[in-house]
Amino acid sequence: MDFNIIRIARTVIHVKDLDRSRDFYVNALGFIETESDDNYIYLRGLEEHVHHSLVLKKSEKLGVHALGYKVEKEEDLDKLQSLFQKKGLKTKWLAEGTQHALGRALHVHDVSGMPLEFFCKMDGAERMLQRYDQYRGARIQRIDHVNCAVPDVEKAYHFFINELGFACSEYTATEDDRIWAAWLHRKQTVHDQAFMNGEGPRLHHFAYWLPDPLALIHCCDVLASLGYAANIERGPGRHGLSNAFFLYLRDPDGYRIELYNGDYLTSDPDFKPVKWELNDPRRQTFWGSKAPDSWFNETAPFLDIDTGEEVKVENPLLEQRKPEFIL
């Protein structure tokens, strides 16, 4: 590739009440609030050395503004623009200073219609990794990945692999060897970007890395003590896919956030992707407990990079299965 996408770096979502969101993300989960005003809250994890990895934007219209990826060099942005334009996909430049703490950014829609963002520069912030006095709630460390529902997983898979330079760590296949779901990465862990078969494009969840499994359990205790027990949607548990220890939560606006720990290294060039059969129930929960219907049926809309309206969704190409067999 002529460009280098480093990792998933930020998510920008619209929320209706900033104070309500602050109570959940900062006071309960333990995110570090870097900065805020009447319209935005900028959040980061304890390990992160940059201004933010999660932006909460006040708006009466809920939706995901962008999934942001960091690139190595400024010229990578121009090369990415050329790629997306050659594919006939929508692109939009946001000049440096247009978005707080961010340098020049390229907004695009990918082949599935998802709004992606690429940037190179972001203001720095104090790394709080050894500020153990600031470890609260879930002890959030860093952004880890995003998972999206798309109508054609194979189309998304081939674009990210062949055009953007991602690699596959694990995938689920149907009996006729069609790709049902895929876990793709740029950093050397299981995934930065996951795709699942479903009505889309829609955001299923964004995920943050925690220091250890006990942090997930402690988070459940904190959430329950603060009156957020009903926000715990699924887990704690262990995935078969990725081997990770997980906890899924719903924030006050309904967005799903996964707290995550315990996957593995994917750096070796001869690493072979792990294949899972669609009818293997250990994929989604290694211990055997089933996920609630909401986990399969409820996702968040993406917003168009020009109009701000919800991106049109399409039905999945592959036939949907019963929830107990879906990941």
Q: Where are the domains of the chain?
A: 5-119, 138-325
**Any bridge partners for residue 94, and if so which?**
105
Q: Confirm if 6 and 71 have CB atoms less than 8 A apart.
A: yes
Q: Confirm if 149 and 202 have CB atoms less than 8 A apart.
A: yes
Two tokens, residue 224? 């329950």
Two tokens, residue 234? 């699924």
- Say yes or no: domain 5-119 is CATH 3.10.180.10: yes
What pLDDT, on a 0 to 100 scale, did the predictor assign at position 304? 98
* Helix intervals (H) in the chain: 18-22, 74-86, 153-158, 213-225, 293-297
Quick one: CA torsion of 10, 172, 298, 5, rounded to 10 degrees? 10
Sign of the CA dihedral running 314, 239, 264, 168: negative
Architecture of the domain defined by 138-325: Roll (3.10)
What is the spatial distance between Cα 36 and Cα 43, in angstroms, rounded to a whole number?
Answer: 9
What pLDDT, on a 0 to 100 scale, did the predictor assign at position 321? 58
Q: Confirm if 30 and 103 have CB atoms less than 8 A apart.
A: no
What is the spatial distance between Cα 289 and Cα 38, in angstroms, rounded to a whole number?
Answer: 42
| Separation of CA 124 from chain center | 21
Each residue of 108-150: pLDDT tens digit? 999 999 999 999 999 999 999 999 999 999 999 999 999 999 9
Name residues of the chain where pLDDT drops below 70: 320-327
**Any bridge partners for residue 166, and if so which?**
none
Phi, psi of 111 (to 5 degrees): -65, -20
What pLDDT, on a 0 to 100 scale, did the predictor assign at position 327? 37
What pLDDT, on a 0 to 100 scale, did the predictor assign at position 288? 79
Phi, psi of 241 (to 5 degrees): -60, 125
What is the spatial distance between Cα 119 and Cα 107, in angstroms, rounded to a whole number?
Answer: 9
Which helix (H) or strand (E) element contains residue 205?
A: strand 202-209
| 3-class DSSP state of 260 | strand
Burial class (CB in 10 A: 0-12, 13-18, 19+), 167: middle
Pairing relation of β-strands 232-238 and 179-185?
A: unpaired
The residues, ordered by sequence, that sit 6+ positions from 60 with a Cβ below 8 Å of its Cβ are 16
